[in-house]
Structure 1
Amino acid sequence: MEPQISIIIPVYNTGKYLKKCLQSVIEQKIDEIEIIIVNDASTDDSIKIIKKFAAHDKRFTIIDKKKNEGVEAARLTGINSAIGTFLCFMDSDDWLPRNALRILLQHANKTEADIVVGHHTRVLDRFGLVKTVGKKFCMQPLILDYDSFMRNYYVNFFGVNIFPVSMCGKLYRRILINRSTINTHGYNFGEDLMFNIQVFPESKKTVLVPDLVYNYRYGGMTSKFNSQLIPSQLRMYKQKQEFAVRYHNDALNKFSRIELKNYLKTFIEMLLKFKGDEPSVVHKRQIAEVIATEEFVDLKNYYASQELQGFELALAKGDIDGMYMEIIAEYKKIKLLYKLKRLLSSIFN
C-alpha cells in the first residue's frame, strides 16, 4: 500500500541528536508513512542508531552510502527512492512536534494543495528547553493559487523573509517534485533555497498554515565562521537573476541585490565575531576581493545611481573602512546578546 508521506532524512555525523529526531518521527499520529534515512557515510555512531530504530519499525528504509556527497545529493537519493503521495524533509538534528505530519496532511487533503508550509520553532539548546517562536507569517490558513503565490510570495526566496526558505516543515506532493527539474548545484549553504526556487513555481496551489510543525535546532552555519557564505551567494545571485527573467519579474532583481548587500554585511559581521573585534589588513584584503567580483561591481553600479547613506554609500564608493564602521556600530549593539547565546549554546549542547 502506498504510504501517504515519505519522510526523507539525510544523516551525517549527527549521532548526538539522532535519537530525538527519529523518536519524533515514529511518534507521529499517522501510521501510513515511510521513513527514508540516507546515511551519507557518517563516521560516528549514526548508522548504529539508525539500524536499532529500523529493527523495530518496518517503515524504515536505510540507504547507507559509502561516500560522503553532501546533503543535496543525499536528499535526491531519498527522493528517487520515495513512493509516498507526499514528501517531507527533515534535518537529522531537528525534530517534529507530535502531531506535525497529521496537521500538514489534513491541510493538503482538505485543499488539494501541492505544497503545505507550516511554522517553525527555533531551539537554542540540546534538550529543547530554550526556544524562540518567530512572528507567524499567517494567523489562519492562506490558500494561494499559482498567480497569487508568484505575485506576492515567490519573492520570499529572493531575500524577503515571509516564511522559512528551508525544505523542512513543509509537505510536497511527490508528483510535483517528479515533474520539476531539480538540479543539484554542489551547495553546502543555501541548498534548501535553491530547491524551493525551482519547485514552488510548479505548484498549482500552495497553502500557508500557522500551525507549529517543526523544531529547528540553532547552530551549524549560524554559530561558526562560514567561508562558503560569499562564494555560494555569488553563484546564487546569478541564478536568481535567471529566474527573475524566466518568470518576467524585474522586482526580483531588486530584492536579490538587497540580499547580496546584506550577505556582505553578514560576512563582515562574521569577521568581527569569529576573527577579532577590529578590522585587520588581511580581512580588508578579503573584502576588497569580494567587492571586486562581477556581481558586486553590478551591485555598486546599481547603488551609485541612487541617493545613499550609511553602508550602501560606503559600498558604492568601495570604502571598506566606511563599511566596517557601519557594521561595528551595529555589531556593538548585539554583541552582548550574541555572546550570551553562544554561552547558552555551549552549556546546553
Structure 2
Amino acid sequence: MIPKISVIIPVYNAENFLTRCLNSVLAQTLSDIEIICIDDYSEDNSFKILENFSVKDKRFKIFKNDENLGQGLTRNRGLDLATGEYIAFVDSDDWIESNMYEVVYNQAITNNYDLVYCGLIYDFSDGKSATPELPSINPELPTIQFLLNEAIAPSLKLFSPNSPCDKIYKRQFIEDLNLRFESERIFLYEDKFFNINFLVANPTYTFIPEIFYHYVVRHGSTMTSHRKNFLKRYFVMDEKLKTILFEGNYLNNELQWRFRRSLFEITFSFCLNALVYNRSIKGKISEFLAILKDDRVSSNIKYFSLKDIPVSASKMNSIVKSICFLILKYLC
C-alpha cells in the first residue's frame, strides 16, 4: 500500500535536537506515512537515536551514507527511496505540529494539488519567536510570479518560498520533472534552486496560513564561520536561475531588479566572509582581492547607495560593510 506522505529527514550531528524532531513526526495524526531518515555520516550519536526510533515504530526507515554528502544530495537519496503519494521534508533540528500532515494532505487531495504549503514560525535560541509577514494582496494564494520574486530577494520580513520544509509536493510531479537538489558544495542555496524549478513548471497549489512548522534558528554556526568558494557558488546558482526563469518567461524587469538587490545584499556577506571569518591572513587578502576584481560585483554595487546596506548586528561588521561599499563603488 502506498503511503500518503513520505517524510524525508536528512541527519547530520543532530543528537541534541533529533529526538524532539522525530517525536513530532511520530506524533502525527495522519498515521499513513513513511519516515525516511538518512544519517549523513554523523560523528555523534545521531544514528544510534535513529536506530532506537526504528525499533519503536516500523514506519521509520533508516539509512546511513558511506561518506558525508551534504544536505542536498542526502535529500536526493531520500527522494530515490520514497514511495509516498506526496513528499515532505523536515530538518533534523526543527519540529512540526501534530496535525500538520493531516491538514495539508487533506487540502492536497481535495483539489489534487501538486503543492500545498503552510505557515511556519521561526524559533530563536533566546526563546523568542517570529512569524513571516504575509502579502497584503490575496495572502491565501500569491501568484507564482510573486513567489518567484520573493524567492530571489524577499521584500516581506522573514517571508521566503525557498524552504522545502513547510510544504508537501506531489511525488509524481517531482518525478515527471526529474527534479533533484543540487549539492550545496558547488551551488549556493540548493533549496532555492529546487523550489524555483518546481514553481516554474506551473504546479497547482494552495496555501494554508495556519502555522505548523517550527524552524529553529541556531546562531553561531554557518552565520559566523568561513564559507569555502562562497563567491563562486553564488554565481553558479545565479546564472542557472536566470536561465531557468528566462526560459519559463518569468524574467521580467521586477525580477531582474530582485537579482540585482540579491547580489548587492550578499556582497557584504562575501566581504565579511573574506575579511572577518577567514582565519588566514593570506586567505583574507586573496579572497577579498577576488571580490574586488569581479566586475559582476563592482558594476552591480553602483546601482545602490550607503543607505541600502543591510543592517548589521555588530558595529564592527557595519564598519567593514561601509568601507567595502566605498571601495567597490568608487575604487573598482
- Give the C-alpha shift of residue 94 in structure 1: 1.0
Percent identical among aligned pairs is 24
Write the distance in 2 (CA, Å) between the matches of 1:73 and 1:55: 26
Equivalent residue number for residue 185 of structure 1: 182
C-alpha distance in 1, partners of 2:233/2:307? 22
1:221 has 2:239 as partner: no
Q: What's the TM-score, normalizing by structure 2?
A: 0.81
Contact 2:28 2:100 survives alignment (8 Å): yes
Q: What is the correspondence of 1:187-202 to structure 2 with a 5 Å cutoff? A: 187-188=184-185, 189-202=188-201
**Greater CA deviation, 194-203 or 87-96?**
194-203
Structure 2 match to 1:142: 140
Corresponding letter in the other structure for 2:118: G
Shift >4 Å, 4+ stretches: 138-141, 269-276, 280-285
Is the CA contact (8 Å cut-off) linking 1:176 and 1:202 kept in structure 2? no
The letter for the 2-side match of 1:186 is S
3-state SS in 1 of match to 2:16: helix
User: 1:244·1:253 contact (CA, 8 Å) conserved in 2?
Assistant: no
Q: 257, 260, 264: which is aligned to 2:260?
A: 257
Task: Measure the CA separation in 1 of the matches of 2:306 and 2:319.
Answer: 8
The answer on whether the counterparts of 2:73 and 2:182 sit within 8 Å (CA) in structure 1 is no
Secondary structure of 2:113's counterpart equals coil
Residue 166 of structure 1: which of 159, 163, 168 is its match? Answer: 163
Q: Structure 1 residues 3, 163: CA separation in 2 closer, same or farther (over 3 Å shift)?
A: same
CA contact (8 A) 1:311 1:323 kept: no
State the 1:96 CA deviation: 0.8
Question: Aligned-pair distance for 1:174?
Answer: 0.6
Return the alpha-carbon distance in structure 1 between the equivalents of residues 27 and 198 of structure 2: 29
Gaps of 5+ in 1: 314-321, 330-349
**Code of the aligned partner of 1:7:** V
1:153 counterpart SS class = helix
CA-to-partner distance for each residue in 1:242-277, whole Å, 9 max, x for gaps? Answer: 12321222333321121011101233345676579x
Using the TM superposition, give the Cα deviation of residue 228 of structure 1 relative to its aligned residue in structure 2, in angstroms.
4.5
Alignment of 1:1-349 (within 5 A): 1-125=1-125, 130-137=127-134, 142-143=140-141, 148-149=143-144, 151-160=145-154, 162-188=159-185, 189-219=188-218, 220-248=221-249, 249-251=251-253, 252-269=255-272, 274=277, 283=284, 286-293=287-294, 297-301=295-299, 304=302, 308-310=304-306, 324=320, 326=322
> Which residue identity lines up with residue 241 of structure 1 in the other structure?
K
Q: Is contact 2:10-2:91 (8 Å) kept?
A: yes
Gaps spanning 5+ residues in structure 2: where?
310-317, 326-332
The whole-number CA distance in structure 2 between the counterparts of 1:263 and 1:325 is 11
* CA distance in structure 1 between the aligned counterparts of 2:97 and 2:275, rounded to whole angstroms: 36
Bigger proportion of residues as helix: 1
Contact 1:138 1:209 in 2 (8 A): no
CA distance in 1, matches of 2:72, 2:3: 24
TM-score by length of structure 1 reads: 0.77
Q: Give the stretch that moved more between structures: 281-290 or 216-225.
A: 281-290
State the AA in 2 paired with 1:199.
F
Deviation at 1:204, TM superposition (A): 2.6
TM-superposed deviation, 1:171:
0.7
2:328 is aligned to none
CA contact (8 A) 2:267 2:297 kept: no
